């Protein structure tokens, strides 16, 4: 029980990586506070955590809204009295060519993925400083390497990475740990819920989810990296290779990424 008496906050924890993180951190003894946008899904996730013997609570919270993030942190403090680890997981994806993309979709993705991380971190930071805790950003390989038809998603993850890198340097002598976790393709609900050019939901993943890393595996790596106070976590062989090659042969990677993404089902570009 490595996290006994610790309190972990996980945003966007009603499915996928967030839900898996809540479960695996809870299994290590932490009290877990989760958020989600649906009361029904939130209640269902809390029920599963309770059945696993995990002390938990939650609140419906739209990551894109500053005041809701502030209220969320206040509720965690009212309920548990402390925050030791914040896992910024809430996120949304998109899939459309930029020339076709309604800018409201771009803003929506940035508001949830980037500003959601900023808001939650801003209001949780005083407690994390006090407890010399950890801030985790669940980013993406897209935070290092852009992919076509994901301009807004890529921009949001680059922004998240830069924000957390800068913050890490600010708090490095105050005992606070900052982890940027970049999973590769992970089997989750994010592609099913991805936004299209006009903001409608994609509904069906364009990729074979059965060949991807499971959310539970990702959560396990995030737990280990948090306990070991790692700086960065890049997952999957494909993800590590993309990160390496993009640093040394970016021109070649442009062609590789284009050809790879063009093979997706119903790709908007060929």
Does pLDDT of 184 surpass 90?
A: no
Does pLDDT of 124 surpass 80?
A: yes
pLDDT band at 1 (very low <50, low <70, confident <90, very high): confident
Residue 268 lies in a domain: no
For residue 36, CA distances in Å to 41, 104, 146, 164, 228 come to 7, 22, 27, 22, 28
Average pLDDT over residues 197-215: 73
CATH number assigned to the domain comprising residue 152: 3.40.50.720
- 135 vs 145: CA distance, rounded Å: 23
Residue 117 lies in a domain: yes
Does pLDDT of 205 surpass 60?
A: no
For position 73, what pLDDT does the model report?
Answer: 98
User: Could you read off the pLDDT of 140-160 as tens digits, one per residue?
Assistant: 999 999 999 999 999 999 999
Domain boundaries, position 39? 7-262
Length of the chain: 270
Report the mean per-residue pLDDT for the chain: 92
Cβ contact 83:50 at 8 Å:
no
Residue 2 lies in a domain: no
Write the DSSP symbol of residue 201.
B
> Where would I find the beta strands (DSSP E) of the chain?
7-10, 31-36, 56-60, 85-88, 134-138, 177-182, 186-187, 213-214, 232-234
Average pLDDT over residues 14-25: 96
Does pLDDT of 209 surpass 70?
A: no
Stretch among 102-106, 161-165, 201-205, 221-225 having the lowest mean pLDDT: 201-205
Residue 182 lies in a domain: yes
- 146-149 long-range contacts, CB within 8 A, separation 24+: 146/257, 147/257, 147/261, 148/97, 148/257, 148/258, 148/261, 148/269, 149/95, 149/96, 149/97, 149/261, 149/267, 149/268, 149/269
User: Could you read off the pLDDT of 232-253 as tens digits, one per residue?
Assistant: 999 988 889 989 999 999 899 9
Does pLDDT of 86 surpass 90?
A: yes
Residue 1 lies in a domain: no
Residue 267 lies in a domain: no
Beta partners for residue 182, in sequence order:
234
For position 201, what pLDDT does the model report?
Answer: 84
Angle (nearest 5°) at CA 136 between 135 and 139: 145
For residue 182, CA distances in Å to 35, 145, 157, 165, 174 come to 21, 11, 9, 13, 24
pLDDT band at 11 (very low <50, low <70, confident <90, very high): very high
pLDDT band at 206 (very low <50, low <70, confident <90, very high): low
Average pLDDT over residues 67-81: 98
Active-site residue numbers? 153
- 200 vs 94: CA distance, rounded Å: 10
- 27 vs 154: CA distance, rounded Å: 32
Does pLDDT of 7 surpass 90?
A: yes
Instruction: Name the domain count of the chain.
Output: 1
- 109 vs 115: CA distance, rounded Å: 9
pTM of the full predicted structure?
Answer: 0.93
For position 264, what pLDDT does the model report?
Answer: 80
Residue 251 lies in a domain: yes
Does pLDDT of 210 surpass 80?
A: no
- 96 vs 99: CA distance, rounded Å: 8
Residue 118 lies in a domain: yes
């Amino acid at each position: 029980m490595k996290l006994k008496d610790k309190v972990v906050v996980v945003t966007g924890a009603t499915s996928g990586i967030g839900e898996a993180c809540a479960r695996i951190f809870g299994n290590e003894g932490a009290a877990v506070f989760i958020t989600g946008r649906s009361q029904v899904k939130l209640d269902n996730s809390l029920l599963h955590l309770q059945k696993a013997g995990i002390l938990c609570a939650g609140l419906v919270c739209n990551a894109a809204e500053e005041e809701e993030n502030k209220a969320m942190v206040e509720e965690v403090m009212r309920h548990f009295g402390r925050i030791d680890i914040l896992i910024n997981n809430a996120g949304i994806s998109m899939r459309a060519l930029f020339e076709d993309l309604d800018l409201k979709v771009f803003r929506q993705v940035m508001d949830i993925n980037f500003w959601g991380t900023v808001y939650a971190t801003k209001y949780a930071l005083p407690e994390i400083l006090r407890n010399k805790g950890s801030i985790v950003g669940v980013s993406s390989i897209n935070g290092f390497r852009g992919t076509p038809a994901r301009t807004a998603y890529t921009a949001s993850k680059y922004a998240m990475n830069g924000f957390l890198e800068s913050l890490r340097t600010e708090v490095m002598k105050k005992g606070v740990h900052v982890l940027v976790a970049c999973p590769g393709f992970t089997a989750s609900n994010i592609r099913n819920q991805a936004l299209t050019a006009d903001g409608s939901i994609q509904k069906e993943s364009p990729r074979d989810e059965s060949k991807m890393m499971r959310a539970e595996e990702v959560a396990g790596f995030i737990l280990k990296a948090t306990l070991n106070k790692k700086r960065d976590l890049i997952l999957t062989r494909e993800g590590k290779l993309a990160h390496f090659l993009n640093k040394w042969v970016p021109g070649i990677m442009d062609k590789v990424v284009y050809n790879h993404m063009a093979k997706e089902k119903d790709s908007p570009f060929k």
